[in-house]
Amino acid sequence: MSEIKQKRIVVMGAGAVGCYFGGMLSRAGHDVTLIARPEHVSAINAQGLHMDCTTFQAFVEVRASAELDAIAHADLILFCVKSPDTIATIELIRPYLKPNAIILSLQNGVDNCERIRSIVDNPVFPAVVYVATMMAGPGRLKHNGRGELVIGPWESCDKEAEAVQMAMLREISELLENAAIPCPVSKDVRRDLWFKFLVNCSYNAISAIGQIEYGKMVSVESVKELIDTLADEVLAIAHQEQISITKAEATQANEMIAQTMVTQRSSTAQDIARKKSTEIDFLNGLVVRKGRAYGIPTPANLSVYALVKMMEKFND
């Protein structure tokens, strides 16, 4: 058994995404603790995490805690908090972090690793997340499709440091793969993050505004045109960020999401439905801010961003 497999795993911010991956790891026999909201913690500790997945349904035994000091024993942290909460959460858990604890960011957006690294010196790596999940009640997870991660080094470094990073990433990949979580190590994870970011910016806000599933969204021709326009604006920003994604690749990625997550409503839609704040400032809002900085018009992204912000403000 390799070293990483013997280490303890903590999921920080175990909502739908964190519960899925933490549950899969615990189901495979790994030492996992979920740090979650009190109502989920109570239910999970009483009867286990109920996982209603596309391939199985089961109560999975896993530890859960509402206390941040549970992070103190972690060797690997799946960091799953919402992007607006990144800095505040890292500040809160910093006193408990082991110096060499690896932080894997399973978050939407493209700048979370940079923000985490501005606070702590721990190894921090991004994970591009492709899974359709939702919480169906306290301690109850509903899985609607997919369930893979893509990980990789965040920034270039000298050969010695690169070798250390790649060794860590290969161990994490092996750990996840052995828990039935596909997890390739990418040579260009920034590009992979921007692919996911493009999809999020194309789908999340529309799904939230319409409270509608992806499959139904794309059955409306004008919505398909809007998705295409949103993607074009993201591509223009990506080009300025030295991210090479072609129009054909963007179209293919967006079409695949609608085909593989037909019944999924976006996390933004789920947040609005639950009267919670969203991550829109770190999705379409980031496109708008970067567009202004680069002098690139982003009217489609501004429109959906403004509508979601309005819904947030008056969501009572």
Domain ranges in the chain are: 3-177, 190-310
Phi, psi of 120 (to 5 degrees): -125, 160
Q: What is the largest CA-CA distance in the chain?
A: 54
Q: What is the mean pLDDT of residues 284-292?
A: 98
Fold of 190-310: N-(1-d-carboxylethyl)-l-norvaline Dehydrogenase; domain 2 (1.10.1040)
Q: What is the mean pLDDT of residues 162-170?
A: 93
| pLDDT tens, position by position, 26-72 | 999 999 999 999 999 999 999 999 999 999 999 999 999 999 999 99
Which pLDDT does position 1 carry in this prediction? 37
* Radius of gyration, alpha carbons of the chain: 19
Name the residue among 82, 65, 85, 55 with its Cα closest to residue 8. 65
Which pLDDT does position 162 carry in this prediction? 84
Name the residue among 108, 31, 146, 129 with its Cα closest to residue 77. 31
Under CATH, which number does the domain 3-177 receive?
A: 3.40.50.720
Of 234-243, 253-262, 290-299, least confident by mean pLDDT is: 253-262
Mean residue pLDDT of the chain comes to 95
- Please give the angle made by the CA atoms of 298, 301 and 305, to the nearest 5 degrees: 135
DSSP-assigned states of every residue in 263-279: TPPPHHHHHHHTT---S
CA distance 255 to 253: 6
If residue 32 lies in a helix (H) or strand (E), which one and from where to where? Answer: strand 32-35
- Whether residue 127 is predicted with pLDDT greater than 60 in this model: the reply is yes
Reading the block at residue 199, the tokens are 């999809």
